[in-house]
């Protein structure tokens, strides 16, 4: 029962390519995530210090810090997603 390439549509071919790319990079990405975990305390420290230098009121500092922390994380996640998306075509 030959399963030749002739019956695979361009869409399926693209999906297969993406799947193989993701599998190939799985180990590398796991290693990279190990390093990226250190960015969480870094972002938390930056958010806290930044908030504390702006205000004196504790509640305001907390609110400002949480918002800054979420902004940093979302920004980094978006950049990571864009880079990961483009790296699939390497």
Partner 1 sequence: MIDPRIRLKNRFLAVILAWMLPGAGHFYQERRFKSAIYFCSIVGLWVMAMHLSEWKVMAAPFNDRNERPPIIQVLKFGAQSGVGLPAVCAVVQRERVKDDENKAVRPLDEPFEAEFNGNVDYRAQAGLVGGDATGTVSFERTDGQFGQATQGHFTGTTADGKSIDIDLDAAALGRPIDGDHRRSLTAQITDGGNSLGELRGTVPRSVWNWLFVPLNKQQETDLHRTLGKRHELATLLSVVAGLLNILAMFDAFGGPAYGYGDEEHQPSKEPAPAPA
Residues 6+ apart with CB under 8 A from 12: none
Using CB under 8 A as the binding criterion, the count of chain residues that bind partner 1 stands at 20
The binder of partner 1 chosen from 23, 57, 86, 89 (CB under 8 A): 57
Residues 6+ apart with CB under 8 A from 56: none
**11: Cα within 13 Å, side-chain hemisphere:** 0
The alpha helices in 3-57, defined as continuous H runs, are 10-24, 26-36, 39-54
Residue 60 as a binder of partner 1 (CB under 8 A): the answer is yes
CB of 21 to partner 1, least distance (A): 23
Q: Segment 37-56, which members bind partner 1 (CB under 8 A)?
A: 38, 41-42, 44-46, 48-50, 52-56
CB of 38 to partner 1, least distance (A): 6
Binding site for partner 1 (CB under 8 A): 35, 38, 41-42, 44-46, 48-50, 52-61
């Amino acid at each position: 029962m030959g399963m030749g390439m002739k019956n695979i549509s361009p869409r399926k071919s693209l999906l297969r390519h993406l799947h193989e790319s993701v599998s190939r990079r799985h180990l590398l990405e796991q290693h990279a995530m190990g390093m990226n975990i250190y960015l969480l305390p870094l972002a938390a420290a930056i958010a806290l210090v930044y908030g504390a230098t702006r205000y004196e009121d504790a509640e305001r500092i907390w609110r400002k810090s949480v918002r800054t922390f979420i902004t940093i994380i979302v920004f980094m996640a978006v950049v990571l997603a864009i880079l990961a998306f483009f790296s699939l075509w390497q």
